[in-house]
Every structure is written in structure tokens, then in C-alpha cells.
Amino acid sequence: MRNHHLLFFLLLLFPGANLYAEHQGIMVASASNLRFVMDEITARYTRSGAPAPRVIYGSSGNLAVQIEHGAPFDLFISADQDYIYRLKEQQLTNGEGVLFAQGQLALFTHHNSPLVAEEGLDGIDQALNDGKVKKFAIPNPNHAPYGRAAKQALEAAGLWQRIQPKLVLGENASQAAQFTFQGGAAAGLIPLTLVLSPGLNQLGQYQVIPVTQHIKEPLIHRMVILKDAHPATEQFVRYLQSDTIRDLLVGNGFIFNPQLP
């Protein structure tokens, strides 16, 4: 199990090694919270006989900037659909794309943490009063959608001003998860899909943060084919929309709202 955890943290630390190394197939820019589920998806896709897509992970905001500067991606999967709409306005996409899934935010507490996940954000309030919170991890709200959702949740709970001196900001959702999984932060608000990663849910406890109660904007993940994309990209997108992949996403903490476009 120790080796499994070490591999996980190495993957979080170096998600985009050799970013633009030559690759003949599909290049996918994906929000970092999708790291492990996308690895499973691409493995299944390859077993079906299709060429293996190459997936580069990062915060949705940073990936969007890379695309704006000419990064050679074929498909963009963003944890915030507004980044896709922004790229569409710049005529960098083929249309506005399609829904991928809706993500969920979770409060995660490590086994060694003085906080209890089941107490939710109310427990953080009491822990702040008792001086038990030394470090609290979230993704950077400036360019990570899950960071913005975490900030909204903390604001709604009246905790944002008090917790700011304790914040440890991950460059993306995966790095924030790394801080909490390693126990460097007492707790963190991170993507549910990372909390549910095999073996890692044994490192602590979690509680899902309700959208309607604490988060103003649902975490709508959207995908779009980019201009001049590899011809095989459409086939991969159809695969991502299949019932098999939808079931896999649901099993990894995503939800599907039939009212979403």
C-alpha cells in the first residue's frame, strides 16, 4: 500500500512531464481532478483497439491559457464550462462542446487530523475557535474551479475571513488533495473523485458539501473539440459519452443532472 501511495503523490507532483513531447495521437487537456478516472478511461479505450490518447492534467484556468497560447491540444475537458465558452469566443473551438459530468466538492480530514469530517463546515468553525486548525488546503481559487467552489462554501459558512491565514493553496485540485492526503493540512476541500481514488479513501474521512447549501455555482465539467483537432478526436468524444463511461463517472463521485444542457 505504501508504494501505491507514493506513486499517487508522484503523479500529483508531476502531472505534465514532457508536456509537448511528440505524440501522434489525440492530445487531451484535462482538469486535474479527473486524473485517475481519465487514466482508467484511456486504458479501457486503448484495450478496445483504439490508439491511446495522451492526457495532460492541470487546473482548468491554466490549461485554457495554454490553449490560448497555441498549445497543441485536440480536446479540452474543463471543470468550469466558462473557460470553454471563453475559448469559443476566440474561435479556438469547434462549437461550445458538450456536457461531461457534474463534479462534487468534499471535506476531507486525514486520520491524524483533529477535525472530524462528519461535523462538516460547522466542525471547522468550532476547530478554529479552539485553535485546532493549523493548515487547511484548497485549490487556488484564482484558476481552479474547485478552489472557487471551496471559497464559496467557506464564505457561505462565514469562515472565509477567519480561515484565510491557515490556507494552503494547491496550484490545482490534485496538489490540494496531496496536501490533505499526506496529512500536511488538517483538512481540505477537494474533489470527491480524488477522495474516492482506490486506497486513498482509507487515509481519512470525508463529507460531500451540498451545492444548494454552500456552493453558488455547480461544478459543471464540459468538453470541447478544439480547432484543427486530430481526426480521431470525435470518436473519443463519442466514447466519453457512452453509458459505460457514464456509469464509471458516477462510481467515481460525479453526478448527471438531466436539466443541464
Give the bridge partners for 78, in sequence order.
Answer: 222
Q: Which CATH class is domain 2-102+220-251?
A: alpha beta
Please give the model's pTM, rounded to 2 decimal places: 0.87
Domain residue limits, the chain? 2-102+220-251, 103-214
CATH topology of domain 103-214: D-Maltodextrin-Binding Protein; domain 2 (3.40.190)
Residue 53 in contact with residue 27, Cβ under 8 Å? Answer: yes
pLDDT tens for the chain, 261 residues: list them.
434 444 444 444 444 444 554 556 899 999 999 999 999 999 999 998 889 999 999 999 999 999 999 999 999 999 999 999 999 999 999 999 999 999 999 999 988 888 889 999 999 999 999 999 999 999 999 999 999 999 999 999 999 999 999 999 999 999 999 999 888 898 999 999 999 987 777 888 999 998 876 788 899 999 999 999 999 999 999 999 999 999 999 999 999 976 665
| Fold match flag (2-102+220-251 vs 103-214) | yes
Encode 4-38: b = buried (16+ Cβ within 10 Å), e = exposed: eeeebeebbeebeeeeeeeeebbbbbbbbbbbbbb
Encode 108-131: b = buried (16+ Cβ within 10 Å), e = exposed: bbbeebebbbeebbebbbebeeee
